Structure 1
Amino acid sequence: MEQIQIKLFIALVYIFSVIASSTHATDFKYCDKEKGYNVTVNGVEVIPNPVIRGKETSFNISAFTGNPLSEGKVEISVAYFGWHVYGETGDLCASVSCPIPAGNFTISSSELLPILAPPGSYTLQLKVQDDDKNELTCIKFDFSIGFLASGEGLVDT
């Protein structure tokens, strides 16, 4: 009976750790610590974390603005071990419903990472600009791509 309880406890700890690791907040830092950005970031969430190649990944940035925003641009830059590997500029209103009233809002993006993306550490930089090209915020955060791709049963070599 005691062995069953121990096995059950181990299974529950494992399940909890998998769930917790796939939904925990990601640490971020501002690109310029001295700059007083008009949009402040409250948190970053990457789901799943670590990212799985060939599967859709969601990036959710919770933020706050003191002034309403009617339009703007979002610039994303991704580096792999410090080397620029991807960049994209898009309409802010494609990631969040505009106009954005003063207060809290969330920028969400879902990306299907290529199955050939190498596993390892990546850094994503996100800049938000208003329609006059004024930088409203700029953050950086790290994420990792795991060794298994979706549907793979063995570790890549």
Structure 2
Amino acid sequence: MFYKMRRKAQELSFEETEAVLLRGTSGILALAGDKAFPYAVPLSYVYDGEHIYFHSALTGHKIDAIRQNPNASFAVIDQDEVIPEKYTSAYRSVIVFGSVRIIEDEEEKLASIRKLAVRYAPNNTEQRHTDEIERQWDRFCMLEMSIAHMTGKEGRVLAEKR
């Protein structure tokens, strides 16, 4: 179902792939959009070792697309350094394939937004997180991506350094 990596020497191990997801702070979520046009949107995220979580407005293109077709891919670029003299780049990235669901359960929503809050504001107190979450509660939803497959790859320049 999923393509195998052609350049095996550049494939990241599961641990390296997961490390990219844990380091990253943003990525591109790609969904099936309207009128056969893909819809790709940059998002902040948190990866908890099992799922990827995003927050979203309650309505809009992203929510409509997920409701029509929950299958998605999510790409994170860890490194991208252009090396003009060699006509290449030193890159490392991850692509995750899976399905996205809108979290309807309030306890699940709270648990997932707390993960996001701690990820992006780790020095804030629990009370500060709680206050901010409560202030915004009715204006956002949480999305959970279940992972079916993920791959990581780095450019030849980085692979040769290993």
Could you tell me the TM-score, scaled by structure 1's length?
0.35
TM-score calculated relative to the size of structure 2 = 0.34
Instruction: Determine which structure has the larger helix proportion and give its number.
Output: 2
In proportion to residue count, which structure has more strand? Answer: 1
Determine which structure has greater relative contact order: mean sequence separation of CA pairs < 8 Å that are 6+ residues apart, divided by chain length.
2
Rg (Cα) greater in structure = 1
